[in-house]
Amino acid sequence: MNKDRQEASPTTLDPSDWDAMRTQGHRMLDDMFDYLENIRERPVWQPIPAEVHAQFRQPAPQAPNDLAKLHQTFLERILPYAAGNSHPGFMGWVNGGGNPVGMLAEMLAAGLNANLGGRNQIPVEVERQVLHWVRGFFRYPDHASGLFVTGTSMANLIALWVASRKALGMQVRSQGLSAASRQLAAYTSAGAHGCVAQAMDLAGLGTAALRIIPLNAQFEMDLAALERAIAEDRAAGLHPFFIAATAGSVDVGAVDPLNALADIAQREKIWLHVDGAFGALAILSPELAPRLAGIERTDSIAFDFHKWGQVPYDAGFILVRDGEAHHDTFASPVSYLRRETRGLAGGSPWPCDFGPDLSRGFRALKTWFTIQAYGTEKLGQVMAGTCALAQYLKQRIEAEPALELLAPVSLNIVCFRFRCEAPESNRINAEIAVALQESGIAAPSTTILSGRLAIRAAIVNHRTQRGDIDALIDATLSLGAKLAKSGTESGTSTGTTTA
Ligand SMILES: *Cc1c(COP(=O)(O)O)cnc(C)c1O
């Protein structure tokens, strides 16, 4: 086909002027480098003006728009109003900071437009190489399987699907759960992420079949209570099949005692899964790895490269010891996905045989680039560094009479409050958190611990430094003093005790 005929095509989406596209593309790339290089100069987050909201409610355009103008809209109307999790002052929820190498890899992946469902192509080998590395991180055997997924919510669900199919037999895939001869029971702690219960719901097992085991003083699963619950369920004729442990709880960063849980799971013949959404990758830090002792004895691990691993969103991962059960839970013999030993349909089994997605993006590439470019040692140091910052924040809180620590600082999450009278404490601390976010200085989130509202700082971002911790403390103290005073003046503070 000659060039003239290509240019004449009225339906291609490629530009007629590649040079102009190239110039525009370089400008876009430069702008994103500028954004990352100067991110400290921006507010972490800022409230979104009504007219900006309104712009995103316009109907779909029928006619083309100029790319340079669209990019300008992105710079003015989208970029400044993102959540800000790349910013060093972002400490809300558990969000990763991303990294510039991962950003470039995303561009390469989008240009290649590879579909990672399967087929005989090196992009699938890149994903398999990351799986090979992940097996090594957690000392899982070679027959363990794994898959990139959106995030740990999906990874937990996949683990639950595989474990339940294994417990009930693969015939449930055709006959459904109602035909199963056993009634299953699962276990997790009161500190588990909400997606564990949601997975029970989505897997059709029901949240009522999930026992919520209380926490000990360290916010870890109470093992005696777990053993009692298992015994009671067995006595009632149920089939205990799944324990979802947490390595790095979302509230306070606690790690369940994995070795002791592995002992119980082994004795009781129960699948031991770990929700290690952010915490599992601490295995890359020689300093933090001992906290995860026993993780190598589990049946499955769900975690995110996009949190502590700093890979741009999204990059969740599920690792399953029993690769055969994992495959048998999802593989489907449909004629249009027939495999061959040669040609494009070679290379079976394919990633689509290990999860519900057929078409899949190239999440592996930004992960592969991030790990290759920085090395596992550096990534481990980043995680240990955020834990050191959490200890620094803890010390600063303990040194301030106006502040109170509300939970042990196990890893990188610190929960605290501004001290004020009991009935007003939750309201004022919630207001402090909002005021901090609106100030653009720092963006913590909140949680409730034993009925008390805590300002929660999850330090995940590799860009965060001591100065950012100081800014959080200073702003909390001044906003707290102001809000507590205005609360008293308006006569709303009636409390007599300090909570
Ligand atoms: C973030 C998180 C999840 C959910 O992971 P996603 O990647 O957001 O789906 C689950 N469990 C824990 C402990 C988390 O921190």
* Ligand 1 pocket test, candidate residues 153, 160, 251, 317, most atoms within 8 A of CB: 153
What is the SS3 string spanning 382-394?
HHHHHHHHHHHHH
pLDDT of residue 8: 57
| Gap between the Cα atoms of 474 and 487, Å rounded | 20
Q: How far is CA 409 from the centre of its chain?
A: 20
Enclosing H/E stretch for 318 = strand 316-320
From the alpha carbon of 304, which atom of ligand 1 is closest?
Answer: 7
Question: Is the pLDDT confidence value at 9 over 60?
Answer: yes
Give the pLDDT confidence of 426-475 residue by residue, as tens digits.
999 999 999 999 999 999 999 999 999 999 999 999 999 999 999 999 99
SS3 of the chain: helix, strand, coil, percent, to 5: 50, 15, 35
CB contact set of 421 (below 8 Å; sequence gap of 6+): 493, 494, 495, 496, 497, 498, 499
**Mutation test residue for ligand 1: of 154, 193, 196, 456, the one with most atoms within 8 Å of CB:** 193
pLDDT of residue 192: 98
Instruction: Say how many Å lie between the CA of residue 134 and the centre of ligand 1.
Output: 18
d(CA 123, CA 362): 7
Choose which residue among 94, 147, 251 to substitute to test ligand 1 binding: the one with the highest number of ligand atoms within 8 A of its C-beta. Answer: 94
pLDDT for the residue numbered 336: 84
CA of 276 to the centre of ligand 1 (A): 8
Q: Which residues line ligand 1 (CB under 6 A)?
A: 94, 151-153, 193, 195, 246, 248-250, 275, 277-278, 304, 316
HSE of 351 in the Cβ direction (CA atoms, 13 Å)?
A: 32
Measured in angstroms, how far is the CA atom of residue 8 from the centroid of ligand 1?
49
- 219 in the Ramachandran plot: left (φ > 0), alpha (ψ -120 to 50) or beta? left
At 3 the pLDDT is: 53
Q: What percent of the chain has pLDDT over 70?
A: 96
Confidence bin at 39 (pLDDT 50/70/90): very high
Residue 491: per-residue pLDDT: 43
Greater pLDDT, 339 or 124: 124
152 C-alpha to center of ligand 1: Å?
5
Which ranges of 236-362 does DSSP label H, i.e. alpha helix?
A: 258-268, 323-330
Q: Coil, helix or strand for 424?
A: helix
pLDDT at 498 over 90: no
Over residues 196-247, the pLDDT tens digits come to 999 999 999 999 999 999 999 999 999 999 999 999 999 999 999 999 999 9
To test the pocket of ligand 1, the residue of 95, 149, 152 to mutate (highest count of ligand atoms within 8 Å of its CB) is 152
Mean of the per-residue pLDDT values of the chain: 95
The pLDDT, as a whole number, for residue 497 is 36
User: Is-cis flag, bond preceding 314, omega within 30?
Assistant: yes
pLDDT band at 7 (very low <50, low <70, confident <90, very high): low
Please give the pLDDT value at position 2. Answer: 53
Which whole number is the average pLDDT over 84-103? 97
Residue nearest to atom 2 of ligand 1 (CA): 277
The pLDDT assigned to 45 comes to 97
pLDDT score at 489:
56
Task: Give the tokens for residue 352.
Answer: 């689509």
Rounded CA-CA distance 469/397 in Å is: 10
CA distances to 180, 260, 450 from 189, rounded to whole Å, are: 26, 14, 15
**Band of residue 175 on the pLDDT scale cut at 50, 70, 90:** very high
* Phi, psi dihedrals of residue 98, rounded to the nearest 5°: 70, 180
Task: Provide the pLDDT for residue 418.
Answer: 98
For residue 154, give the ligand 1 atom closest to its CA: 9
Going by CA atoms, what residue is nearest to atom 15 of ligand 1? Answer: 250
Domains and CATH numbers, the chain: 18-45+82-98+376-499 (3.90.1150.170), 115-361 (3.40.640.10)
| pLDDT tens figures, 292-320 | 999 999 999 999 999 999 999 999 999 99
455, 446 in Cβ contact below 8 A?
Answer: yes
What's the pLDDT at 326? 98
